[in-house]
A and B are shown apart, each in its own frame.
Chain A
């Protein structure tokens, strides 16, 4: 990776780290919310659905500002976390939170679609064979929605790699801490002679995005074959 300068390399590594943790942390919650939206009926379901989709519709800057208000050191949640020694504002963990929130709707949509495609009759069959609800989910539902989980994760990861507006609003653009690839490209374009660095990062972005897409297609096809039962 000699053709990447140290600053550029730093941004790429940070972006990968932020996106990885954002996706990993969002995944269990994403599966839970998707399952709730697909299968459960409870009061306030439409409110939850709206909340989940909000980051998709709001301007990212607004989402970032709301995150700052909530998770900033003076915010209600941020203040509480600070008592436990956890600070999100202006840290890479905050960038991961912003990326996770922005990618969440895409992740939930993909997983929800795959849950809705699972025949509830198979889950009933598992129940009659002695499986409790939790076991039905782990042994039948989860394996059958694996393609959807993979697709949702890749979408979330790709969104996290490209997230800019909410990140820069919430955690600013600090080199080595919160300067992810999009922020870095933006920063390089603000200074004379930065076009070369920006172009290299653009190429990295394109390669990572394409790679993620190809891997997800391959994994999803394998999982789908498995689920098709042939």
Chain B
């Protein structure tokens, strides 16, 4: 199943004009607040009618302004996980979960399976008012899933949660991505969420698609920094090679060993890690006598000077593309230019737990 969106809408501040496809897996609409992400997802849900455009899911047309087709939300067959949960306060958790089944009696997903997967079995008889933020969001995910949607929409579902709750919910979206066959369209402005969850990234900037494609390509493109250079960072695929006794885990990223604070994944398991561009130091020679454990040799591909004193350098390494944020002054002093060999140095502790996620980086590679 694939979602294809091509819409134009006047937002006052700017004109939204986007076209993208969301293949199976998890597609993140990535951009700053106010870049038009929520408008796009609401147009897909039918909660907003764009001025022009067309939205299809696998040959079924949800919206076609030119032909006058505009299915109301309840006939679009979507599941929407909202930022604030939006559980029905007058119904129990069980009734909330089963709400969608009153109207779509296909029964593809099993109630017990979904309840198990989300770990909400103990909450079924409670009212939403008696749930914590994280529990509410899990129930909201279950409610959307149980309505047998053709596509799952999620509008910053973690934004209203604190860091601990985010860490609690993120793995459920990883499981959804890996275990549920329907495409997921996920709106986010968090680099860590994108790095962990995205199969496909659609980067939005001022109402336009600045870039789209597999997560590693878009996130590793120095020309695409929808959230600014500060949030730039590449994503690498790796497998867990060993867990050492000193609390470190050793990863194998394309033959390069990387050391991280202990990750919860089993040996041999594929994981993805995000390396923030501003945590990377570049060196022309292989450094010695350095406390940093992770050294990735590579060749400079591109240097993108920023508006300020900084620049983003992209480096092709055996582990994949790495982005580094350096000053333009040091780039000149070091003679950095495309083709030059260089070493990227990353401190072990600079890779935070929220930057490490399970599963393969891209489905297309399987």
Contacts and interface: CB of A to CB of B under 8 A. Distances in A.
Nearest to B80: A128
Nearest to A227: B90
B74 A127 contact: yes
Nearest to B127: A229
A228 B103 contact: no
Contact of A229 (B90, B102, B104): B90
B74 A130 contact: yes
The 8 nearest A-B residue pairs measured at CB: A229-B89, A130-B103, A229-B129, A129-B100, A230-B129, A127-B73, A125-B86, A128-B80
A1 to B, nearest CB: 40
Interface residues of A, number: 24
B82 interface: yes
B130 A230 contact: yes
A119 B85 CA distance: 13
Interface in B16-33: none
Contacts of A226: 90
A129 B129 contact: no
Interface string B101-137: 0111000000000000000000000011110000000
A221 to B, nearest CB: 15
A122 B88 contact: yes
A187 to B, nearest CB: 47
Given A122-B88, A229-B129, A130 B100 contact: yes
Interface of A: 119, 121-122, 124-133, 135-136, 139-140, 143-144, 226-230
Contact of B82 (A121, A133, A135, A230): A121
Nearest to B90: A143
Interface residues of B, number: 31
Contact of B79 (A127, A128, A132, A229): A128
Contact of B103 (A119, A129, A144): A129
Contacts of A125: 80, 82, 86, 88
Contact of B90 (A124, A127, A144): A144
A128 B73 contact: yes
A140 to B, nearest CB: 6
B172 interface: no
A127 B144 CA distance: 12
A123 to B, nearest CB: 10
Interface string B58-94: 0000000000000011101111101010111110000
B47 interface: yes
A126 B80 contact: no
A136 B78 CA distance: 16
Contacts of A228: 89, 129
B63 to A, nearest CB: 15
Nearest to A142: B90
B88 A140 contact: yes
A129 B130 contact: no
A119 B77 CA distance: 23
17 contacts: A121-B82, A121-B84, A124-B73, A125-B80, A125-B88, A126-B88, A128-B73, A128-B74, A128-B76, A128-B78, A128-B80, A128-B144, A129-B79, A129-B147, A144-B90, A229-B87, A229-B129
B86 A230 contact: no
B89 A144 contact: yes
Given A129-B74, A129-B143, A131-B74, 19 more contacts: A122-B88, A124-B86, A127-B46, A127-B47, A127-B73, A128-B73, A129-B103, A130-B77, A130-B100, A130-B104, A131-B103, A132-B103, A139-B99, A144-B90, A228-B89, A229-B89, A229-B127, A229-B128, A229-B130
